[in-house]
Amino acid sequence: MKTKHLQPVTTGAYGLTNVQALLSYAKSDSLFTVWFAELLRQSGILPPIHGSYIEVQQSTLAILDEYHAVKRALWLTEALAHKRIQGYIPAKQILASWVNEQEWDARQFIILGLKYGVIDYGIIGYPKWRNEPMHILIREDVAKRTRVRAVVQVCTRLSVGIVEQGLVVARGNAQYLEPELSDWLFGNKPTILLTSPKSTLEIIHSTLTKEDIPSSYLHDTQGITHLAITPAVHLQQIPDYDSLTPLD
């Protein structure tokens, strides 16, 4: 079997994917919305506004709670400021238009600042890490004939591929890894193995590729055999999740 690592942010889609994820979450959390808008205002990264705000589409990179929203917002703002993520120009333009639509409410900003601990310029500190798992999907027919030792070797190869991609975006500095990947790498490295029908693997792979979401896979003559997905993705949000089953 051959290994293939999707090249990170090759089309610039991943910058927009992160923006989509954060702004989609902001719709459900008014307190985060106020804080994120002010973080962007004070960051100095926003360009002049050209045109009105365009509604973003839902992203596969779903953010489910305030903890993850805060960490990803801080990571993305810093990555955009230092141009470490491709597609930073359209990403900043969309954020500038979005910020222009938000009303300033100092009271809500102070409340969220007190909740997490405010540091310089109102930027909040990183909350304590959580270990989000890395999911590795195995094609059903391959899972039936794979020994435990081989599975361990595959997991190592694929997880290294995910970390390599993160380091490319971080320009070799682990300090700038995406928050979930950083927590995974320096934490307990939880990994969940699931079996998947061939068609589901192809659909998930296509979705990840479209949004430039980091993943790594192995393939044979019949197609993809194993697919590892960055810990930043909550598997319940991806297409055909219900067809996946835990590996016995």
Helix (H, G, I), strand (E, B) or coil at 151: helix
The residue written with tokens 């998947």 in the block is 196
How confident is residue 109, by pLDDT bands cut at 50, 70 and 90? low
Q: Which of 122, 140, 168 is the last residue of a domain?
A: 122
- Contacts of residue 66, defined as CB under 8 A and 6 or more positions apart, other chains included, come to 29, 31, 32
Domain with 162 in it = 2-8+130-246
pLDDT in tens, 148-158: 778 888 999 99
Please, which residues bridge with residue 2 across strands?
219
The pLDDT mean for the chain works out to 82
Quick one: 222 and 152 in the same domain? yes
Q: Which of 122, 147, 174 is the last residue of a domain?
A: 122
Cβ-contact 194, 142 below 8 angstroms: no
Quick one: 149 and 169 in the same domain? yes
Quick one: 64 and 97 in the same domain? yes
Q: Which of 132, 107, 127 is nearest to 35 (CA)?
A: 107
Q: Taking 90 as the threshold, does the pLDDT of residue 127 lie above it?
A: no
Averaged pLDDT for residues 168-189 = 89
Q: Which of 99, 122, 145 is the last residue of a domain?
A: 122
Pick 9 or 160 by higher pLDDT: 160
Quick one: 134 and 242 in the same domain? yes
Work out the angle between the directed axes of helices 13-26 and 88-101 (0-180°, nearest 10). 20
